[in-house]
Amino acid sequence: MENDICFYDAAELASLIRSKKLSAREVLETHLTRIDDVNPQVNAIVTMDAERALADADRADQEITKGNYLGLLHGVPVAHKDLVDTAGMRTTYGSPIYADHVPEKDALIVERLKDAGAISVGKTNTPEFGAGSQTFNKVFGRTLNPYDVTKTCGGSSGGAAVALATGMVALADGSDLGGSLRNPANFCNVVGLRPAVGRVPVRGSSSAWQNLSVQGPMARTVSDIALMLSVIAGPDINSPVALETPGSMFSAPLDKSFSGIRVAWSEDLGGLPIDQEIRQIVRSGASIFADLGCEVTEDVPDFTGADEAFMAWRGWSFGFMEDRLRDQRDQLKDTVIWNIEEGLSQSGRDLSKASELRSALYARVIAFFDHYEYLICPVSQVPPFSVETEWVSEIEGVEMETYMAWAKVCYFISATGLPAISVPAGFTGAGLPVGLQIIGRPRSEFEVLQLAYAFEGLTSYNKNHPNIVG
């Protein structure tokens, strides 16, 4: 029974608590036991306050006895990426510089989850300042893949993906610049959605007008992604790029007929080096969309300029850390130093050129989506690799020019600004998870969720939990 509770959908947990068939405290204690049992083996949750969480669960139960329903996530255990601020709970950003940092205010995404009745369990591990798709840092060490603890869980929302895959929490938040919601979901057999910029507003950012990095939901099922998005999405005056559409739009049923829907698929986004097992799983996934009634065509937009544009704006985003580079260089990892220096070395003309390239890319992609409603492709160019390897340096004989280059299949999509989801799509011969990336038209998260939901319903790969949980 306890193992079952830890793998109930978030919506089911909230329903059982509301109907008094389970108490919020019972649900939380079961998840805390799971954390005690499993977390030492994988290092996913790095900071906790069980006493406060239990007190919050007790208050949730008291409200139910009074007939008060706090929201859609009443009593549901959640965890927060260690890049987002949590009031009164240590938030390190994966950096020794902030090893003892305790914020005074919650980030907006945390506030909205709490306002919906969720119970915050703790913080999930992330690479230093979220830089890289391999979750390790000097503060907490490595997070391990629960399907094979010798392999990476991906990143940068790696701790969140592992916590979900092992049943430590029902929902988790994450963020995505170049793939950080999608890559770890793909490596850990869970679901991660990169929403449109502004769909999940960010409050108090030093780069409030930026339009590349986003925050978003992670869960074990597509329906739970929709549930969480309905809570964390919606307008906020503190964000100048926030979309005005209310989050409630994601509460609608996800069922849809896909007969005649035009879907493009590509196993390499036009020539990227891709592991052969990944290619085969993408091909198999394409056939499943055909089984759903989709008109499936092998096709891909022209991604010329995506690499240059993304890397330039990524560098720009790290330029805000100039003071840390100057004053605390010895506490920064090499790849963070590289990112900052790359950003600081750029000229205004470099960024103008990046803007031109990205604008042209967007125009081509929009023209492509005049013919298709979705694009299907890999989430990652390789399966989960050794946890001892910081980043992939070669794929199918092709040398990677930077520590980010093996993630182009994700960050090319980031450059377009289109919503994209990673949904479980199968396993390698060694039993390692592989996800499929579904990309939709601008601001079409609901439609992306609908297709992912239909794919999940035909495949059920997400129900194959890691052996580490028994």
- The residues annotated with a catalytic role in the active site are 81, 156, 180
d(CA 22, CA 26): 7
What are the CA-CA distances from residue 10 to residues 61, 223, 333 (Å)?
17, 9, 37
d(CA 338, CA 351): 18
- Is residue 371 exposed (0-12), middle (13-18) or buried (19+ Cβ within 10 Å)? exposed
Helix, strand, coil in percent for the chain, rounding step 5: 45, 15, 40
Q: Which residues of 285-308 are buried (b: 16+ CB within 10 A; e: fewer)?
A: bbebbeebebebeeebbebebbbb
Distance of CA 263 to the CA centre of its chain: 23
d(CA 291, CA 377): 17
Two structure tokens written together for 55: 């007190």
Distance of CA 198 to the CA centre of its chain: 16
216, 180 contact by CB (below 8 A) = no
Two structure tokens written together for 418: 């289109």
d(CA 209, CA 304): 25
d(CA 47, CA 70): 25
**Residue 386: how many CB atoms within 10 A of its CB?**
12
Residue type, 124: T
Bridge partners for 376 per DSSP: 265, 438
Distance of CA 270 to the CA centre of its chain: 24
CA nearest neighbour of 174 among 99, 255, 251, 228: 228
CA nearest neighbour of 49 among 84, 2, 88: 88
Peptide bond into 156 cis (omega under 30): yes
**Residue 142: how many CB atoms within 10 A of its CB?**
18
